[in-house]
């Protein structure tokens, strides 16, 4: 029963994201709306982590399986993608490197700041 409750909370937030996407004329993906709603609800304490932890962990565990349909779709359209394959790979590699570098620098900054504060949390 706990899993059903947690799933209902997560899917309810996802539904709210869908509604926001339909209501607001911004070029933001529906999932981003849902993630920001969940972040706000978790930060304000309206939703506690233990209220969504089990179902969220399950969804993270099965995430690789969720990419199978997209991968099959790419494989089916290989002939059309072949013309842009080199630019696609270059863009993917460059963007991956940028994300890795920025993430590493932000993590270093946070760790440095935490070290200066003596490891104390606010």
122 pLDDT exceeds 70?
no
Averaged pLDDT for residues 91-103: 97
pLDDT at 120: 63
For residue 121, give the 3-state DSSP assignment.
coil
pLDDT at 116: 82
SS3 28: coil
Does residue 17 contact residue 34 with C-beta atoms inside 8 Å? yes
| 3-state SS class at 34 | helix
The backbone torsions φ and ψ at residue 18, rounded to the nearest 5 degrees and listed phi first, read -60, -45
On average, the pLDDT of the chain sits at 92
Dump pLDDT digits (tens) for 35-88: 999 999 999 999 999 999 999 999 999 999 999 999 998 889 888 888 898 999
Coil vs helix vs strand at 43: helix
């Amino acid at each position: 029963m706990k899993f059903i409750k947690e799933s209902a909370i997560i899917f309810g937030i996802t539904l709210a994201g869908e509604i926001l996407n339909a209501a607001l004329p911004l070029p933001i993906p529906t999932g981003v709306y849902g993630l920001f709603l969940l972040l706000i609800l978790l930060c304000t304490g309206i939703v506690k982590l233990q209220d969504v932890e089990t179902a969220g962990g399950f969804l993270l565990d099965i995430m690789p399986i969720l990419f199978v349909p997209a991968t099959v779709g790419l494989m089916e359209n290989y002939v059309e993608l072949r013309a842009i394959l080199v630019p696609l790979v270059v863009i993917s590699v460059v963007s991956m490197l940028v994300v890795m570098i920025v993430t590493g620098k932000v993590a270093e900054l946070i760790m440095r700041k935490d070290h200066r504060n003596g490891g104390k949390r606010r």
